[in-house]
Structure 1
Amino acid sequence: MQNAKEKYGVKAKPTYDGYKSYQYLDAGVDYKEYELAKEIARVEPYVYEVSDEQEKLVQKIIEDEYIVSLHEHTFITPANIDSIFEFRRQGRDWTGYEGLSVSGLDIVFENYMDGTAFITSNAGWKWNDVLHDLGTRYSDFAHQDMVIRAERIDDLYRAKKEGKIAFVTSLESATQIENEIDRVDVLYGFGVRVMGIAYSEANALGSGLREKNDSGLTVFGHKVVERMNKLGMTIDVSHCGDQTARDVIAASNKPIFITHVGARALWDISRLKPDDVLKACAEKGGVIGIEAAPHTTLTHNHPDHSIESVMEHFEYVVNLCGIDHVAFGLDTLYGDHVGLHHAFAGALSIKSAHAGPQFEEVEYVKGLENPTEAYQNVIRWLVKHGYSQEDIRKVMGRNVLRVLEETWAK
């Protein structure tokens, strides 16, 4: 672990003992073994440049404050990304424990890979496949001591005290419930605490962001919003169409999240949200997480996707909505994220969601390549650009915790 600390600067979680996913099973006997991408230094590690004094403050913030990712996929892709469909079909994902141990993160809204749970279908979002995906990852979590499943507020606070990382089980869409509202309760029972209304395609609840005709939240969608409010499951509209997002915000009697997004005013693609949706979320008390998946949060000032373009979106949303309503859901993973997007372009409608201004493709987002380096570099950027420790405390975690205090069952 010393090598990883030297590369990234953050002390490893004391509860990490070197565990690797499924080491309690026999590779080649209990599952097919794949060569996985590197968690540490898949590409040259990037440390955002700050002074020695600023770096001391960065490390103090990581040590003292709650560092929260509002949206992440902490799985490790296969080294050969061309094998991803076969890899996903076995229904077993590996978690980047080593990388997470030196990430500085205390709370991760883990979204697994349920949209690509291709065990029985290439379309994804099948009920049994989603439950299989959750159960298999939970089995792995149960065999190690660093990651804990967070189902109540107290779990979030105790994780940091115990040197652990709290995973909040999140799903990007409710597509898998079909027209069965009690499945929301079942998912809650499986530990799901945040759920999106729709992904790119429309479902029984409302429209996704790729639909040309967004008719808004359906009657069934209104019932699901009401049920989620009653259960204490926080709502996400990151992948909803604009009108559906507006309707959800209006229908919910509690604040919501837009967990991973940017400002369409800076880069005109449907994957990002217009000002009125961002402001409506904030006015209802919600929080907007800034996105960094490759080729999303670009800007005309920074058309090569990097930490600078992402942070331009951050400052725009802060100026629009206020510092109390912004956080980071950088949407990173361990492996070739760009290659993954190419592989899933059809299945996840990525191409249509990114249609807009022309841009030069990058191999990875410089400074935000994976969960290990991303959140430390954001803190470095904030420190270097003169943000107060109180404002950093808010955007790195406290804003998110406030919404959960209001939305989760006590």
Structure 2
Amino acid sequence: MQTPSPQYRGYRSFDYLEPHADYRVFDLAPEIGRVAPYDLGLTDEQTERVTAILEQEHVISLHEHPKVLTADPHQLREYNHTGRNALGYEGLARSGMSALFDNFMNGTNCVTSEHGWKWNDVIFDLGLRFADIAKQDYVVLVRTVAEIEDAKSAGKVGLVAGLEAATMIENELDRLDILYGLGVRQMGIAYSMANQLGSGLAEPQDGGLTTFGRRAVERMNKLGIAIDISHSSDRTSMDVIEHSAVPVFITHAGARSVWPTNRMKSDEVIVACAERGGVIGIEAAPHTTLSPEHPEHSLESVMDHFTYCVELVGIDHVAFGPDTNFGDHVGLHDSFSGHLTIANAHGHVEHPRVPYVAGVENPAENFTNIVGWLVKNDWSDEEISKVIGSNILRVLKEVW
């Protein structure tokens, strides 16, 4: 974990409001120090190299949820019901990241409904986050590659607004334009369960991309919304890759050949994505990217998926989308397992349960440890630069 950025001036979410009077206050998880630091055993020279890389290179997470969870996971539903999630500014200031794709509450945005993905709830979620961001100057909403580069130059963090599924547009194609107008620049097709666009990875039958889904892909291409197929079924993923005029992202997943669950992507999908110029971001949400060599989920498990994907499709098509937040991510999964269809997506492969993923537990520590692992394992500066940021920028220059 890095020292705080000098550009961060200590702002906390909703500092512009009066606690208790203007919004409901919850006891939140700490952004720093919730779990023990991860020791990679680096030498002083290696540590200096990690610091230099983080300072000099674009460091971009392809998928995060940088909100701060409640200290008690049982309060998460009430917390999300308010529509107002705190953003972890202090943690981001220590992360070394220059930009991240924020995917907000995704399927847990139960402001007006118990089941998420409602149009009004998504707008509520986006609007409150954007209002909070507008009241400070360290995290900046970015909508172009130039704005990402400007944020890096200024020592700030660029936030790309993303959504894990297009379920909320229902059959209204122009809602994509509205979301683009509000600042959304990345969107998934389906989140595990099928919707009007296509099938999710948890469905028993894989219907592929629908006719409406094809129109939605075309509209996202025209607008410049990057498409994510992380939670889409295999056939839907292949259809999207084929139908999109520009490369697509697998923002947060791993390789099914390493860990055989639906939540991981097949070699066929990963290769097809890469052949069209796309990138897979390796994820680290609890109990996803495990491996036979490291079934107790940790940074080592995550990097087993990374090395496999690099060998499969090459260094130019792999990045990182850790998919983490500040707080008890395992508790979040337990609280929203029905909403997120976790059991159907992850399957029933036996593995040890962990309280957190050591080394990639939250956005503040992820890239310090990822870069540390790469340095320790003798990856070159050029290779590290590609996988921590420049591969993502290459795709965005084509898509946006």
Q: Provide Cα deviations, 1:190-233, integer angstroms capped at 9, x if missing partner.
A: 10000000001000000001001011000000000001111111
- Structure-1 residue corresponding to 2:128: 136
- Structure-1 residue corresponding to 2:22: 30
Could you tell me how far apart the structure 2 residues matched to 1:268 and 1:359 are? Answer: 12
Question: 1:160: Cα distance to partner?
Answer: 1.0
Corresponding residue SS for 2:61: strand
- Structure-2 residue corresponding to 1:386: 378
* 1:159 partnered with 2:159: no
Question: 1:48: Cα distance to partner?
Answer: 2.3
- Structure-2 residue corresponding to 1:329: 321
Could you tell me how far apart the structure 1 residues matched to 2:52 and 2:41 are? Answer: 17
- Structure-2 residue corresponding to 1:310: 302
Could you tell me how far apart the structure 2 residues matched to 1:356 and 1:322 are? Answer: 30
- Structure-2 residue corresponding to 1:188: 180
* 1:208 partnered with 2:200: yes
Kept in 2, the 8 Å contact 1:255–1:285? The answer is: yes
Corresponding residue SS for 2:86: coil
Could you tell me how far apart the structure 2 residues matched to 1:381 and 1:140 are? Answer: 34
Q: Provide Cα deviations, 1:291-331, integer angstroms capped at 9, x if missing partner.
A: 10000000111100000010000000000010000000000
Give structure 1 stretches of 5+ with no counterpart: 1-7
Corresponding residue SS for 1:406: helix
Could you tell me how far apart the structure 2 residues matched to 1:230 and 1:47 are? Answer: 46
- Structure-2 residue corresponding to 1:285: 277
- Structure-2 residue corresponding to 1:224: 216
Give structure 2 stretches of 5+ with no counterpart: none
Kept in 2, the 8 Å contact 1:268–1:356? The answer is: no
Kept in 2, the 8 Å contact 1:292–1:365? The answer is: yes
Question: 1:67: Cα distance to partner?
Answer: 0.5
- Structure-1 residue corresponding to 2:31: 39
Superposition misfits of 4+ residues, deviation over 4 angstroms: none
Question: 1:43: Cα distance to partner?
Answer: 1.2
- Structure-1 residue corresponding to 2:116: 124
Q: How does 1:73-92 map to 2 (within 5 A)?
A: 73-92=65-84
The amino acid of 1:104's aligned partner reads G
The amino acid of 1:306's aligned partner reads S
State TM-score, norm by structure 1.
Answer: 0.97
Question: 1:11: Cα distance to partner?
Answer: 3.1
Corresponding residue SS for 1:69: strand
- Structure-1 residue corresponding to 2:257: 265
Question: 1:234: Cα distance to partner?
Answer: 0.7
Report how many residues are paired.
400
The amino acid of 1:392's aligned partner reads I
Corresponding residue SS for 1:15: coil
Kept in 2, the 8 Å contact 1:254–1:284? The answer is: yes
Kept in 2, the 8 Å contact 1:217–1:244? The answer is: yes
Could you tell me how far apart the structure 2 residues matched to 1:356 and 1:258 are? Answer: 23
Could you tell me how far apart the structure 2 residues matched to 1:223 and 1:401 are? Answer: 26
Kept in 2, the 8 Å contact 1:47–1:373? The answer is: no
Q: Provide Cα deviations, 1:79-116, integer angstroms capped at 9, x if missing partner.
A: 01101111110110000000110110001001011321
Q: How does 1:294-309 map to 2 (within 5 A)?
A: 294-309=286-301
Corresponding residue SS for 1:371: coil
Could you tell me how far apart the structure 1 residues matched to 2:106 and 2:202 are? Answer: 19
The amino acid of 2:333's aligned partner reads H
What's the % identity of the aligned pairs? 54
Question: 1:345: Cα distance to partner?
Answer: 0.5
Question: 1:272: Cα distance to partner?
Answer: 0.4
State TM-score, norm by structure 2.
Answer: 0.99
Could you tell me how far apart the structure 1 residues matched to 2:3 and 2:151 are? Answer: 16
- Structure-1 residue corresponding to 2:8: 16
Corresponding residue SS for 2:140: strand
Kept in 2, the 8 Å contact 1:216–1:247? The answer is: yes
Residue 389 of structure 2 is aligned with which of 370, 393, 397?
397
Task: Indicate the RMSD between aligned Cα atoms, in angstroms.
Answer: 0.7
